[in-house]
Structure 1
């Protein structure tokens, strides 16, 4: 593996959490899949997890992907799973309400709790709760996250910081449930993990174009406010120089080179390039080929 991608490898603190984020449509699912296959083939026990409702992992791997952990056909050491926000929100509501009923709360308090749980935040909260469960498993050396578009990802990663404050308030007025207190402890652990470069690698996938670069740069700065550092940037769909022989492709290649130079100035992290493939990155053979192109 190339030196500037060594931040993807696990240290003594396992599992290594690897996030791929970026603007919608820049190729996060492809890069996440390529990375997971590459690391699994190096011998690391790896889980590929998507929190993106629009993810097309089924097409990439040509097999079903569900809320149950499934082995990837043809790749030793690689499992795959999808977090369905609506499904996990239902499980989360049931858990919280069962805990509240066990404490014999009044009907008025239970009605207020149900109303709170019907808010849009509950899906994000439940998804994060499920994500934390996976990060605390001992079965994997590496967990690769195919995340939703940037804004959603930022809310997901900032959620523990915001929710912890709310839990502390609820605890102080004695209205927190056991589920709340368990979540508070989970969040404290995951905050420490996200801030630790030996345990978490945060990466952005970017097209060499203005809008994806600007959006990624803003997100990098926002993550820094919660002490999460970006350690890798993947410039996706770079035109191979040897194929840029016509005036049109020469001009496109020149534009990409200018954007790559701009990225070097904007991002304080290694930038590695994924060449544009002639076909979609789909199927195991193409995933393996793309992994070599990206990481070797």
Structure 2
């Protein structure tokens, strides 16, 4: 098994989570869709999940995607879903308050309602939904199309805020409930999987220019503080050699090649994938299959 195979496919009897992150507009969603289709074609039951509030995986797949796990028509083994931020937040508030109403007085409930209107609640609700999907045992591969870098890092750091949420839910006089303890165990299990290089691949997508490289590197260093290593980097939107026929495009391509060398040096411990720029919008199962065949060097079935 090649190094690329190791970061893409689960070991026998194991599961694999693959996260695609990076700054906005670099092609994370396309790369997540291409990869999910690839693992599904390899025979792994795959879930493509987006945590990006501005998600458009449905547009790339050219198939409807909702907050319910749905099989993708005409593709064996591939399922998709998106986290509906608003719906997740309302569900989270409802569950917290229903639990609290059985324990606390009206004054405490009012204080909790106020606290639950904070932005942190939206983040926590989305994270809880993410944990719910990430802990599903029925899928062999889960591919995550994440929000732009800062949002993703914040989500991954949320377990550090768990104690604050427990305090809010428990109030000043009640201990942690059994349900909260069980939920905390699920949280910890998912986070431990994310730190395990065999179980989780964290990938950064960037186009070969200075700003995306710098941002991805900073984010990778921040992930290291959470014991999460970057194992895959994707250099996207590379001008094909055969298209660099004018001085302008030759200069742009040479610049890109220089930055690809910088990506290799900056992320020397990660596998590198290079993706050409396409003249058409990346959309539809047929095009995603063709690109997957090209970049993963597989034979058509």
Give the TM bin, normalised by the shorter chain.
over 0.9
Secondary structure, in 3 states, of the residue corresponding to 1:145?
strand
Shift in Å, 1:186: 2.0
Kindly tell me: are residues 263 and 125 of structure 1, through their superposed partners in 2, closer, same or farther at Cα, counting changes over 3 Å? same
Corresponding residue for 1:30?
30
After TM superposition, the structure 1 = structure 2 runs for residues 272-287 of structure 1, keeping only pairs within 5 Å, are 272-287=273-288
After TM superposition, the structure 1 = structure 2 runs for residues 229-240 of structure 1, keeping only pairs within 5 Å, are 229-240=229-240
Query: 1:291 aligned to 2:297?
Result: no
Deviations 1:5-50 (A, max 9, x none): 4211112564311100000000000000000001100100000000
Corresponding residue for 1:140?
139
Moved more, 43-52 or 269-278: 269-278
Corresponding residue for 2:174?
174
Moved more, 2-11 or 57-66: 2-11
Contact 1:67 1:81 (8 Å CA) reproduced: yes
Instruction: Give distance in 1, aligned partners of 2:168 and 2:176.
Output: 9
Instruction: Give distance in 1, aligned partners of 2:173 and 2:201.
Output: 37
Shift in Å, 1:208: 0.3
Kindly tell me: are residues 177 and 99 of structure 1, through their superposed partners in 2, closer, same or farther at Cα, counting changes over 3 Å? farther
Instruction: Give distance in 1, aligned partners of 2:293 and 2:184.
Output: 41
Secondary structure, in 3 states, of the residue corresponding to 1:203?
strand
Query: 1:224 aligned to 2:224?
Result: yes
Moved more, 198-207 or 174-183: 174-183
Instruction: Give distance in 2, aligned partners of 1:14 and 1:63.
Output: 29
Corresponding residue for 1:66?
66
Deviations 1:205-239 (A, max 9, x none): 01101111110000000000011111100111112
Contact 1:96 1:179 (8 Å CA) reproduced: no
What is the alpha-carbon root mean square deviation over aligned residues? 2.0
Kindly tell me: are residues 23 and 295 of structure 1, through their superposed partners in 2, closer, same or farther at Cα, counting changes over 3 Å? same
The count of residues paired between Structure 1 and Structure 2 equals 295
Kindly tell me: are residues 89 and 14 of structure 1, through their superposed partners in 2, closer, same or farther at Cα, counting changes over 3 Å? farther
Contact 1:49 1:143 (8 Å CA) reproduced: yes
Secondary structure, in 3 states, of the residue corresponding to 1:234?
strand
Kindly tell me: are residues 204 and 173 of structure 1, through their superposed partners in 2, closer, same or farther at Cα, counting changes over 3 Å? farther
Instruction: Give distance in 2, aligned partners of 1:155 and 1:231.
Output: 20
Contact 1:95 1:179 (8 Å CA) reproduced: no
Deviations 1:51-103 (A, max 9, x none): 1121211211112111111111111000000101110110111111111122x
Kindly tell me: are residues 164 and 42 of structure 1, through their superposed partners in 2, closer, same or farther at Cα, counting changes over 3 Å? farther
TM-score (norm 1): 0.94
Contact 2:112 2:168 (8 Å CA) reproduced: no
Instruction: Give distance in 2, aligned partners of 1:115 and 1:222.
Output: 32
Moved more, 5-14 or 247-256: 5-14
Contact 1:45 1:141 (8 Å CA) reproduced: yes
TM-score (norm 2): 0.92
Secondary structure, in 3 states, of the residue corresponding to 2:263?
helix
Corresponding residue for 2:272?
271
Kindly tell me: are residues 2 and 234 of structure 1, through their superposed partners in 2, closer, same or farther at Cα, counting changes over 3 Å? farther
Secondary structure, in 3 states, of the residue corresponding to 1:65?
coil
Shift in Å, 1:276: 1.1
Shift in Å, 1:161: 2.6
Gaps of at least 5 residues in structure 2 are none
Instruction: Give distance in 1, aligned partners of 2:169 and 2:284.
Output: 49
Contact 1:51 1:83 (8 Å CA) reproduced: yes
